[in-house]
C-alpha cells in the first residue's frame, strides 16, 4: 500500500468474539492499524506505548486497531486463544483482531510486527512504518514517528516523513 491509497474494507473477529469492520470507525478523524502479534519481542515492547498513545488521543477522535495475522502453524503463541489472553492481561482499550486468512495484512503491504498504518478521515494512507526510533528502551526514544503522524493527521496537516521503515519480526506468512 502506498501513501495516498484508500483503505480496503475489512471485517475480522476481535478477541472479544465480536466482528469488527472498517466501517465501525467511520466517524473517527484518524484510524491507526497496527500489524502486531503476541510472540515478537519488538511487538511486546510496544504494547504499553500503543495503549498510552491511544489513551492520549482517544478524546481527539482517534481509533486504533491491532491486527495479528501470523501463521499459527509457524508461531503457536500467536493463536486466537493466546490473543484473547494477552488482550485481557494488557486490558487493551482498543480492538485486537485476528486476520486468520492474512487478507488485511496483505492488502496493507505489512511486513513486520509491529508496523503501523495511519489513515486520515477520508481513509487515505498518510503514514506507514515505525512507531518510534527505539524499541528496546522507551526513555531512549528520540523520534516519536507514530505520535507525530497522529498529531499531524488529526490537525489535517501533511506529514513530513510519511514512510519510515518498521523494525520488528517478519510476518509469518502461510505457506
In tens, the pLDDT along 40-76 reads: 999 999 999 999 999 999 999 999 999 999 999 999 9
Q: Distance between CA atoms of 88 and 103, rounded to whole angstroms?
A: 25
**Domain presence at residue 175:** no
Following DSSP, what letter does each residue of 95-162 receive, concatenated? -EEE-TT-HHHHHHT--EESEEEEE-TT-BEEEEE-S-S-SS-GGG----HHHHHHHHHHTTPPPS--
Q: Distance between CA atoms of 108 and 96, rounded to whole angstroms?
A: 16
pLDDT at 29: 97
At 98, the pLDDT band (50, 70, 90 cuts) reads: very high
Per residue, the 3-state secondary structure of 47-88, as one string, reads: HHHHHHHHHHHHHHCEEEEEEECCCCCCCHHHCHHHHHHHHH
* Mean pLDDT value of segment 154-160: 95
At 3, the pLDDT band (50, 70, 90 cuts) reads: very high
17 contact partners, CB below 8 Å, separation of at least 6: none
The whole-model pTM stands at: 0.97
pLDDT at 149: 98
pLDDT at 22: 95
**Domain presence at residue 24:** no
**Domain presence at residue 3:** no
* Structural domain that includes position 64: 35-170
**Domain presence at residue 43:** yes
At 94, the pLDDT band (50, 70, 90 cuts) reads: very high
Which cell is 140 given?
A: 531512549
Number of domains the chain is built from:
1
* Mean pLDDT value of segment 103-121: 98
**Domain presence at residue 101:** yes
Q: In this structure, are residues 65 and 138 in contact, taking their beta carbons and an 8 Å threshold? A: no
12's enclosing H/E stretch is: strand 11-14
At 167, the pLDDT band (50, 70, 90 cuts) reads: very high
Output the CA torsion sign for 163, 160, 122, 87. Answer: positive
**Domain presence at residue 114:** yes
pLDDT at 52: 97
Q: What is the CATH number of the domain that holds 42?
A: 3.40.30.10
* Mean pLDDT value of segment 30-37: 98
pLDDT at 31: 98
Residue whose cell numbers read 496483505: 106
Output the CA torsion sign for 38, 25, 1, 98. Answer: positive
89's enclosing H/E stretch is: helix 80-90
**Domain presence at residue 78:** yes
**Domain presence at residue 98:** yes
Amino acid at each position: 500500500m502506498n501513501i495516498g491509497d484508500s483503505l480496503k474494507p475489512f471485517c475480522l473477529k476481535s478477541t472479544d468474539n465480536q466482528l469488527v469492520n472498517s466501517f465501525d470507525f467511520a466517524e473517527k478523524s484518524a484510524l491507526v492499524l497496527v500489524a502486531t502479534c503476541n510472540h515478537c519481542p519488538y511487538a511486546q515492547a510496544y504494547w504499553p506505548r500503543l495503549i498510552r498513545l491511544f489513551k492520549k488521543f482517544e478524546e481527539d477522535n482517534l481509533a486504533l486497531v491491532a491486527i495479528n495475522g501470523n501463521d499459527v502453524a509457524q508461531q503457536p503463541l500467536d493463536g486466537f486463544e493466546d490473543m484473547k489472553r494477552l488482550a485481557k492481561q494488557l486490558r487493551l482499550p482498543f480492538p485486537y483482531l485476528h486476520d486468520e486468512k492474512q487478507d488485511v495484512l496483505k492488502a496493507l503491504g505489512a511486513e513486520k510486527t509491529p508496523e503501523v498504518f495511519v489513515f486520515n478521515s477520508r481513509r487515505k494512507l498518510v503514514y506507514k512504518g515505525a512507531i518510534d526510533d527505539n524499541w528496546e528502551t522507551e526513555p531512549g526514544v528520540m523520534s516519536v514517528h507514530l505520535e507525530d503522524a497522529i498529531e499531524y493527521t488529526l490537525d489535517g496537516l501533511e506529514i513530513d516523513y510519511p514512510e519510515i521503515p518498521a523494525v520488528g519480526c517478519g510476518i509469518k506468512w502461510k505457506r
